[in-house]
Structure formats: structure tokens, C-alpha cells
Structure 1
Amino acid sequence: MQLKALLRLRLTGATVLDIGANKGIYSYWLAKAVGPRGRVLAIEPQPEMAEYIRQRGLGPNVEIVNLALSDAGGVSQLSRKRPGDGSASLSRNIGGSIPVKLAKLDDIGPISNLKFIKCDVEGHELKVFRGGEHLIRKFSPVIQFESTPGEITPLLEFFSSLGYSGIMFLGKTYAQIKDISTIPHPKFGLSGHRDFIFFPKEAIGSIIPQDHDMMRWHKDR
């Protein structure tokens, strides 16, 4: 999501998750969005990047969690080309690997007032959401994630089962997503992926302002 659009969400005092935090860029802006009474969990499996975020000193409302989320606990191999690799993945083999601790989002500790999740885990998004389905159903947060044409269909099915609507980011504009047939593959661009935001109807007017730019493309409000 463009940062301007992110900062227009009503997140003051909320708990938000930056899953796949990497350098902590989203964590920084989310900390501003939630304010001093809010809470940001920056979840990052690469130890070098978790330490990097810690050294940035993003503030007392940012907690760094050095593990990987999935649909089960345990240990797995995180594939990466180099330390700090932004394309490191549990689901894609891109080079070398390091062992990382796994946990389900539902099991990482007490969470309250959860309003927003950003998830960028290079193809492992569906397993993350399945491992956090209890929390998602309990709090109905707005959820942003990245996906590719080959990975989007089961994600659409998952969010449809929760009664969520979807918006696809197209540069400075948006497109409402009903099903895979409404996503022309060329719209994914040269990078092969796009950002999506999914939300329940009750988030409109509470978390997402009625006059937010992306609501102009949402037909079911």
C-alpha cells in the first residue's frame, strides 16, 4: 500500500502486525499510525534484519519478533541469496538457506485490538493466514499482502470464506477484486506481483474512512 493511503487508515491505539518486516520501513510508518498507545509487532525471521530493526530504535511501541510465521510450529529452512535478502522465502528455493523457528500467528502471544496486518512473505502468505485464522476471525483486521498470478486464487478463496472484499493496487489507482477472472494477468506488471488489501464490510467507516481513495473502486459498501 502507498504510505499515504496507509496513514489514512484509522489505527490510533490499535495493534498492527508487520509480517516480513525486513528493514522495518512499514514498521516505522505503522508506529506513527498507531501512536504511543498503539502496538506494532515487527515479525522478521532473518536474525540480521531483526537486529537491524532493533538498532534503528523505532520506538517503545515497536516489538521485534525474530521468527517466521506459518500454519504450524517447528523449524524450517528459509531460502535466501544473502543475509538480509528481501526475497527470502519459505516457499520458494532461491539459493542458500538458514534454519528458522516457525510459529502460528494464533500462538505468538496475547494480542488485542488487532486492526491491520501487512504480510509480505514471498509466496508463504496463505500458510501465514491459515495459521492466524482464529485471530483474523476474532478481530476482522484489514489485511494487506503481496501475491502473484499463480498464488492469488487460493488467497481469494480463503478471504471469500471469511466474508472479506478485495482491492488490488494499480500504481496510483485501484481495482475491486471479485474473483480471479477480474484480475487480468498483465495488470501484475513486469515484477509479476501486486499488492492487495482485503477487509470485512464492517471495516468501512471504522478502520477505512468512507472517503478513502480506494473506496471509490469498492462497489459493495
Structure 2
Amino acid sequence: MIDTGFNKVIKSRHGFLSYNKNDIYIGKSIEKYGEFSHLEAKLFEQICKDKDVVIEVGANIGAHTVYLSKLVGSGFVIAYEPQRLVFQNLCANLAINSISNVFAYQEAVSNENGTILIPECDFTKNNNFGGINIENSKNGTLVNKQKLDNYTNKIDRLKLLKIDVEGMEISVIKGAIELIKKFRPMIYVENDRQEHSKELIELLWSLDYKMYWHLPRLYNENNFFNEKENIFGNIVSVNMLCLHKDSSIQILEMDEIIDSKHHPMKK
């Protein structure tokens, strides 16, 4: 382990990772277990193969980006992360692992092209840096934002669209409708904001997608460091795996979403 201040570098399950030791989820998981949300990554193993193309919106420090890059082999990953220092950490992880098939952008993704202010965090203090809401910020760093529809005629295939954007999922999808209609990718999207869930589900239904809840626990008992202490309890990530209705893929051991008002975290 190399300690450089608020960042450390560690040998993880999928390669070397630089992470913020003050990050209460991603950083703490990498430090304790040598991985982050590997039960999500296990699902990507079943989806992504050599030559595939993946777009990852909200890549954070690249804990999944690094592995996705290996899964697609001679394909490539397009990764977006708008937070300045988090993006720099992402690029460090791509560089330290000699990854050349990822195109990383310090930009936001939305339903329109333009600019957006991204808040700056104090990375020397404990925080959930992956959970920062960037909407309607009055201070911060000005970055570009773009629609994924800009890629409609720039790529020739798209296997997976992965979205983890802390409440901006609807905007991302509205800006990607032509891309989605053209390539019908599998979509893996976070849906942990109950106030947006119904609209998000119905938007994807309107695009002829079927959805399934995927609720992987943050703690993986078969973690890379073989650490038995569970510091996350029963905390799960709340995501949806979405397939176009014409897909022949069968989904096992996941509940199909048939009621847009239902949310698994609703009390």
C-alpha cells in the first residue's frame, strides 16, 4: 500500500487502484476488501465480451471501469466522470494499469448539450464522494455536458450502457433516446432515488425495455482480501438491469418490474 495523503494505492482484485481513504463507501471497500461492489462486476462478466463497446456514465475512480476494459478486450469503454479530482483519480487508475481501450472524459451527461457547475469537495474529510448530487450547484468547476445521442453516428455498436449519476438518470436517458433506439443496448442503471423511480421506469417502458431489480450487497463474503468483517451490514446497491423487449436473453433470479409505483426500498 502506498499512502500519498488522502489518496492511497493498493493491489486490488482487478489491478492497482488509487482511491481516496476518506471515501466512506468506495474507498473504504477497496481498502478493506480489495474491491468495490464485486457482485455488480460479476453481472458485467455475463454481459461484456471481447470487441464489445460500453458507455459508463458516472465512472467515479474507475473501480468498475478497469474491469470493464479487460472484459471488452479489443473493444472499448467510453467513461464519463465530471468531478475534477475524482476524474484525475480515474485517469490515474487507467494509467497505472496500462489501459489503452478506455476514453475518459471530465464531462457530465444530460438531456442537452451545454455546461454545468460541478461542486468541489474537501477530499481530506470523510464523505460519500460518489454520492454527490451535481444538479443545480451554485458554485464549483464549470464543465461541459453533452447528450449521448451525439454518439449515434460515431460508434457502430453498443453492448452496455451503465448509468450511476445520483438522481440524473432520467436526464441521461432522455439525451440518449436515439442511441438507445439504434443499438438497443443492455442498460444497467441505478434507481435508488424513490422520488424519481416511477418516472424512470415508465420512461424505459416507453422505449420498449423490460426491467429487473438487481440488489447486490456491498459486502461480498468472497472478497479479494478474504476479510470476514462486514462493515456494510445489509446495505445494497439499488439498480435495474434493462433489456429490450425483443431480446432473447433469459433473466434468472431477478424480479421483473411490473409496477412502476413499487420500489424495493419503500417502507
TM-score normalized with structure 2 length = 0.65
Contact residue 78 and residue 88 of structure 1 kept, 8 A = no
* 1:171 Cα offset (Å): 3.4
1:49 and 1:10, CA in 2 relative to 1: closer, same or farther beyond 3 A?
A: closer
Contact residue 22 and residue 86 of structure 1 kept, 8 A = yes
Aligned counterparts of 1:204 and 1:163: Cα–Cα separation in 2: 14
Listed as ranges, the matches of 1:87-166 within 5 Å are 87-91=131-135, 97-107=140-150, 110-147=154-191, 148-166=193-211
Aligned counterparts of 1:67 and 1:114: Cα–Cα separation in 2: 20
Contact residue 143 and residue 199 of structure 1 kept, 8 A = yes
Aligned counterparts of 1:171 and 1:22: Cα–Cα separation in 2: 18
Match of 2:72 among 31, 34, 37: 34
The residue type paired with residue 62 of structure 2 is G
Question: What fraction of aligned residue pairs are identical, expressed as a percent?
Answer: 27
Aligned residues: 195
Aligned counterparts of 2:237 and 2:45: Cα–Cα separation in 1: 23
Q: What SS is found at the alignment partner of 2:161?
A: strand
* 1:193 Cα offset (Å): 6.4
Are 2:100 and 1:60 equivalent residues in the alignment? yes
Aligned counterparts of 1:74 and 1:42: Cα–Cα separation in 2: 18
Once the two structures are overlaid, the 10-residue window that deviates more, 117-126 or 69-78, is: 69-78
* 1:78 Cα offset (Å): 2.2
TM-superposition CA deviations, 1:8-43 (whole Å, max 9, x none) = 1143211101111110111111112111x1110111
* 1:156 Cα offset (Å): 0.8
Structure 2 unaligned regions, length at least 5: 1-38, 218-232, 258-267
Once the two structures are overlaid, the 10-residue window that deviates more, 194-203 or 141-150, is: 194-203
* 1:70 Cα offset (Å): 0.6
1:52 and 1:170, CA in 2 relative to 1: closer, same or farther beyond 3 A?
A: closer
Whichever of the two has the greater Rg, that structure is: 2
The residue type paired with residue 41 of structure 2 is L
Aligned counterparts of 2:45 and 2:174: Cα–Cα separation in 1: 27
Contact residue 92 and residue 122 of structure 1 kept, 8 A = no
Q: Which residue of 1 is the match for residue 40 of structure 2?
A: 2
The residue type paired with residue 78 of structure 2 is L
The residue type paired with residue 213 of structure 2 is M
Contact residue 216 and residue 238 of structure 2 kept, 8 A = no
CA RMSD of aligned residues (A): 2.8
Structure 1 unaligned regions, length at least 5: 173-188
TM-score normalized with structure 1 length = 0.77
Contact residue 190 and residue 239 of structure 2 kept, 8 A = yes
Task: Considering fraction of residues, name the structure with more strand.
Answer: 1
1:52 and 1:141, CA in 2 relative to 1: closer, same or farther beyond 3 A?
A: same
